Amino acid sequence: MSKEIGYLDMDLLRFTTAGSVDDGKSTLIGRLLYDSKSVFEDQMEAVERSSRNAGDENVNLALLTDGLRAEREQGITIDVAYRYFATPRRKFIIADTPGHIQYTRNMVTGASTANLAIILVDARNGVVEQTCRHSFIANLLRIQHIVVCVNKMDLVGYSEEAFDKICDHFKKFSSRMGNIVDVSFIPISALHGDNVVEKSKSMDWYQGPPLLYHLETVYIGPDADHVHARFPVQWVIRPHSDKWHDFRGYAGRVAGGVFKPGDEVMVQPSGFKSRIKEIYGANLEPIKEAFAPLSCTITLEDNIDISRGDMISKPNNPPTSSQDVCAMVCWFSPESKLQVRGKYTIRHTTREARAIVQQVDYKVDINTLHKIEDDLDLGLNEIGRIRLRTSAPLFHDPYNTNRNTGSFILVDEMTNQTVAAGMII
């Protein structure tokens, strides 16, 4: 059964989609799901029924991705929704984030777990302010692969010139974005399916692959950090059974680097050193090595006191341990603004502490990418650089080195809401 073996070799690509309202994002996702045969007949019937009720002449593929009732009524997407499809090569998870101007926070949320971002541009409008904003967020969240889909090519006569102009414009302003490793440009028509799954017959001048082929083959490789060994302890396993009487295992998910039995390790905050005795993988048998993003359980040679929130790393290369962090944050709360001197709960890896905001260095105007230094009030959907003092040390790396040990959230202590996402500098 070669097809199934193929299935077991499939890897995972997570991507986000961003575009302004009406650029055709929902149509594009609907098209990807439909053409990759990920839509069931009963779902399709429901969409056909809705389209008829709304008086649309074509089946509106955008309805396939239209979720909650509130947004059906308002006609806009108001939150991040996740979609799934697979081809024989890959499984895909789409974080479908809305294009509406005020929803930066949703885009940040969707981007936080993505390896790739599709940025939609309407061929008639070209690169607009929002394109700039989407690219900035992709770069800030360290998405290394960007695909610029120039959509509605049918409305500009499938013109190569129009396409080239948009590519040039995008290249010019994205050259400032250091985290983006590769950018691809694809001219498409989501409505008619040109260059989405099938190569377009109307754009002979385009030599590249259609979008789906690109998504299937783009080399994501080890986007994760496999250099700096990081293992935040999530849970301590003590069976208290006769058979496993002395067993003490540290359970967690590798956040970076590679761990092997015999490796010398160091534990923070205690600073104790030991060696890895065994690593149990998800198969419940000892494995030879563990790396991100695998969950495993580690046992050590020595009996030392370790609890949730501790960090296991290598003595020659531990993460920074400090109570002062400088970070870019995106503010999420519609109810409150970031308070200087305000206290929040900070969650970082498996650790929780309290944090005081020491100062706001600047805000970023995400449309022009200029720094704003005269207005330091950080409100909903705004991004800025801040300094925090925490009640206990965080064991961290720069976000640009390691997404797991470089990211945190701030939680409002009154409402328990997640009010900010932070990326350590």
Closest CA to 19 of 129, 158, 164: 129
CA–CA distances in Å: residue 416 to residues 56, 158, 336, 346: 43, 51, 13, 11
- C-alpha to C-alpha distance for 109 and 132, rounded to whole angstroms: 18
26 binds ligand GDP (CB under 6 A): yes
Q: Does 227 bind another protein (CB under 8 A)?
A: no
x/- binding map, residues 136-165, to ligand GDP, per CB under 6 A? ---------------xx-xx----------
Distance CA 211, CA 148 (A): 10
Q: Return the range that interacts with ligand GDP (CB under 6 A); candidates 108-116, 189-197, 265-273, 344-352.
A: 189-197
Vertex 137: Cα angle to 133 and 142 (nearest 5) = 150
3-state secondary structure of 353: strand
Contacted by 19, from ligand GDP, another protein, none: CB < 5 to 8 Å by type: ligand GDP
Question: Is the separation of the CB atoms in 311 and 392 below 8 Å?
Answer: no
- Reported in sequence order, the residue ranges of 165-271 that DSSP labels E, i.e. its strands, are 182-187, 230-232, 235-237, 249-253, 258-259, 264-268
Which one of 54, 101, 181, 237 is in contact with another protein (CB under 8 A)? Answer: 237
| Among another protein, ligand GDP, none, partner that 288 touches (CB below 5 to 8 angstroms by kind) | none
Minimum distance from CB of 178 to another protein (Å)? 20
Shortest Cβ distance from residue 413 to another protein (Å)? Answer: 9
- Does 62 bind ligand GDP (CB under 6 A)? Our answer is yes
Give the span between the Cα atoms of 54 and 171, in whole angstroms.
40
Binding status of residue 301 toward ligand GDP by CB under 6 A: no
Restricting to residues 86-105, which ones interact with ligand GDP according to CB under 6 A? Answer: 99
Q: Taking the complex as a whole, how short is the minimal distance between the CB of residue 375 and another protein, in angstroms?
A: 24
Backbone angles phi, psi at 81, to 5 degrees: -120, 150
What residues between 166 and 225 interact with another protein by CB under 8 A? 220-222, 224
Residue 142 binding result from ligand GDP, another protein, none, given CB thresholds of 5 to 8 Å by partner type: none
| Residues 28, 151 contacting (CB under 8 angstroms) | yes
Among 36, 43, 87, 202, binds another protein (CB under 8 A): 43
Could you say which DSSP state residue 176 is in? Answer: T
Residue choice 190, 196, 212, 224 for contact with ligand GDP (CB under 6 A)? 190
Please tell me the distance from the alpha carbon of residue 239 to that of residue 245, in angstroms, as a whole number.
7
Give the CA count within 13 Å in the CB-facing half-sphere of 122: 15
- What mask, x for binding another protein by CB under 8 A, covers residues 300 to 329? --------x---------------------
Instruction: Give the binding site for ligand GDP (CB under 6 A).
Output: 19, 21-27, 62, 99, 151-152, 154-155, 189-191
